Amino acid sequence: MNKADLIVALDVPNAEAMEAKLQELPDFIEWYKVGLELFCAEGPAVLEPLKKRGKKIFLDLKLHDIPQTVANAVKTAASHGVNLMTVHAIGGRAMLEHAAKAAAECEHPPKIVAVTTLTSLSADDFTDLGINRTVSEQAVKLGELAISSGIDGMVTSAHEAQALRDAFPDALLVTPGIRMPDGDVGDQKRVASPSFAVDQGATHLVIGRPIMHAEDPVAAATAMLEDMNK
Ligand SMILES: O=C(O)c1cc(=O)[nH]c(=O)n1[C@@H]1O[C@H](COP(=O)(O)O)[C@@H](O)[C@H]1O
């Protein structure tokens, strides 16, 4: 039994590249994330090979629009049989409530998680954006909005996870920006190890390049899982 779910981000340009990776990656990976790049390239058909393999699907489209548009998008996406979806918390209460209601009305309701602050943003970006709170304060503020609107949980870096876990004991906490201590950070700003994320209360860890770009993806995924469970 793993301490959290490991989700591999299929950040590849097309279905062919996805298939190559799926053949390489180990069976113990139960969750895959399909994001904007792959979904824009292939549309919903790209989900079929994952469903055939019995994998759980995180469709990460980070919806942020007027309430009705988001509700319709949630319903349409859910009809393709996805387990988890993202919206942006800053879309506001009406948008979040519409998303939650649309999901609940689906035959197979997906869980909806709200992005609080992208893991690629730092405190300096907050200054640029005119936000005067700390990243943790902002996460809790947006978490309150999301949870009270009927959303299932938040996407956050592991550094805000404990504050969110304390405030919302039952929420899903999805943490991207996962790196081993010596790993290449790339464009991420708020990174943490798998074990740190789990210790802080994460329920799902999203990992892309450290596994997808590894010379040996099986070894990389195994090391992430071991670190998560230690
Ligand atoms: O919603 C997400 O999944 C997400 C939110 C966030 O704040 N930061 C973030 O990196 N992500 C996604 O998580 C994945 C992280 O990829 P790596 O940095 O390659 O591990 C990417 O697919 C991002 O789109």
pLDDT of residue 22: 97
Q: Read off the pLDDT of each residue in 6-15 and give the average, rounded to a whole number.
A: 98
Q: What is the mean pLDDT of residues 8-21?
A: 98
Which domain does 211 fall in, by range?
A: 5-229
Q: Residue 47's beta-bridge partner residues?
A: none
11 is in an annotated binding site: yes
> Which tens digit of pLDDT belongs to each residue from 40-55?
999 999 999 999 999 9
Q: 219: which 2 tokens?
A: 């070894």
- Please state, in angstroms and rounded to a whole number, the distance separating the CA atoms of residues 44 and 111: 18
Chain segment 133-172, per-residue pLDDT in tens: 999 999 999 999 999 999 999 999 999 999 999 999 999 9
Looking from the CA of residue 156, the nearest atom of ligand 1 is: 7
Residue of 87, 119, 125, 152 to test ligand 1 pocket, by largest number of atoms within 8 Å of CB: 119
So what's the pLDDT on residue 107?
A: 93
For a pLDDT cut of 70, what percent of the chain falls above it?
100
pLDDT of residue 9: 98
Q: Which atom of ligand 1 is nearest to the CA of 119?
A: 7
Question: Is pLDDT at 1 greater than 90 in this prediction?
Answer: no
pLDDT for residue 2: 92
Mean pLDDT computed over 101-111: 97
For the chain, the domain total comes to: 1
For residue 13, the domain's CATH number is: 3.20.20.70
Q: Are 209 and 184 in contact (CB under 8 A)?
A: yes
ipTM above 0.90, yes or no: yes
Short-list 230, 175, 229, CA closest to 201: 175
> Cβ(209)–Cβ(5) under 8 Å?
no
